[in-house]
Amino acid sequence: MMKKTILLSVLALVLSFSQVSANAEFEAAWKAADEKRMEAAAVGYEWRDTKKFLKQAKEAAEQGDLDKAMKLVAKAHEQSEDAITQQAREVHLWSSRVIR
């Protein structure tokens, strides 16, 4: 009986640590994605849905669906990277479209 209790306590502790670790991982990923979004906004190229994905990620995490939350964060991060690349490209390409 004693051994069983100890075993269950250890298991609960391990699970609790892994949950804390997953949450920390999410928080770090979310912060990085939001910083990338702000980087895109600073050059005037934020995409429409990026902020919405980050909001939905927070909500999913609060409901305990970390898998969904991480996928949304990854999508938001990727959008901002693409937006920054788009801006860097357009600095050179826009003038080729000018009506002359």
Q: Does 3 bind another protein (CB under 8 A)?
A: no
Site mask, another protein, residues 23-42, x = CB under 8 A? ------------------x-
Given candidates 33, 50, 73, 76, which one binds another protein under the rule CB under 8 A?
A: 50
Report the alpha-carbon distance of residue 22 to residue 80 in Å, rounded.
Answer: 23
Report helix angle 2-42 to 50-62, nearest 10.
Answer: 170
Q: Does 97 bind another protein (CB under 8 A)?
A: yes
Tell which phi-psi region holds residue 44, choosing left (phi > 0), alpha (psi between -120 and 50) or beta: left
Q: Does 51 bind another protein (CB under 8 A)?
A: yes
Name the site residues for another protein (rule: CB under 8 A): 41, 44-51, 79, 82, 86, 90, 93-95, 97-100
